[in-house]
Amino acid sequence: MTGFARVDGHADGYSWTFEVKSVNGRNLDIRCRQPAGFDTLEAAARAEIPKRLARGSVNLNLTVTRSQSVSQLRINRELLAQVLELAREIEGAGAAAPRLDSLLAVRGIIEPVEEDEGEARERMEAALKADLGRLIGELVTARLSEGARLVTVLNGHLDEIERLITAASACASTQPEALRERLRNQVAALLDAAPALPEERLAQEAAILIAKADVREEMDRLRAHIQAARDMLAEGGAIGRRFDFLCQEFNREANTLCSKSADVELTRIGLSLKASIEQLREQVQNIE
């Protein structure tokens, strides 16, 4: 199932962009790209993603840039007190009192405070992990939106398969009277065989003919598979693997129906049925 999400963030002089996309995959495959020194984010992603996703190829990309650090400032109060004392002496000697901005411009009164790099990095990584959780949540939402659209597509394919099964059931060659007539003709051919077949062998051949002539059992199973598929769609959740297996069962019954068919119209319907089942199977690969 496909999906895409992007999250931008910044903290403590760092800015970053998280991007994640997923495409169809039989299993869950996670690939991460991040700058050197951010391996803990990859570990967090590999721990969190399997909690939310079951299938798909997931590619996660993180880019981080560091802006020019802006240091905090503080006043050197001891030096300021000395400067103010000198200013009062100057003022007492009759000179004009110095302006405040002139005092603050004295070198050393205002000085930068270097922040602990380790603390800033910890805060930044905590913010990154929070954005990672938000990113995965948005990816899940995108995949769910696509899943909702796929339900309509899958139900359309199931409707077409059901229509073809109904058409096969109405085919003249599947009707009881047609089956009986076909069996009578084939048994008559066996009775006319030279040399004559033993009764036990004749019974075996008749049983084989009956089994080959009747496709109603295959159609009943196909109808049961349609109901099972609709139940899974209503159930939701991670149904991709089970649905894929069900498609194999669909195809098995359609193959048997075609192999048993001795009627051009029924064969044509059977081939259309196989094509519709393949279209269904292709769409099933897109769900989780």
At position 249, the amino acid (one-letter code) is E
Q: Are 165 and 274 in contact (CB under 8 A)?
A: no
Q: How do the pLDDT tens digits run along the chain, 288 residues long?
A: 688 999 999 887 788 999 999 988 778 899 999 988 888 888 999 999 998 888 889 999 999 887 655 456 677 788 878 878 877 777 766 666 667 677 667 777 776 665 556 677 788 888 999 999 999 999 999 888 888 888 999 999 999 999 999 988 887 455 555 555 666 666 666 566 655 556 565 556 555 555 566 677 888 999 999 999 999 998 877 788 889 999 999 999 999 888 877 778 888 998 999 999 999 998 888 887
pTM confidence score: 0.61
Q: What is the pLDDT of residue 78?
A: 82
DSSP per residue over 63-122, as a string?
EEEEPPP--EEEE-HHHHHHHHHHHHHHHHTTPPPPPHHHHHTSBTTEEEE---HHHHHH
Contacts of 162 (CB under 8 A, 6+ apart): 223, 226
Q: How far apart are CA 177 and CA 173, in angstroms?
A: 9
Cβ contacts of 200-205, under 8 Å, gap ≥ 24: none
Joined tokens for residue 136: 């995965």
Q: What is the pLDDT of residue 3?
A: 87
Q: What is the pLDDT of residue 138?
A: 92
Strand partners, 57: 23, 29
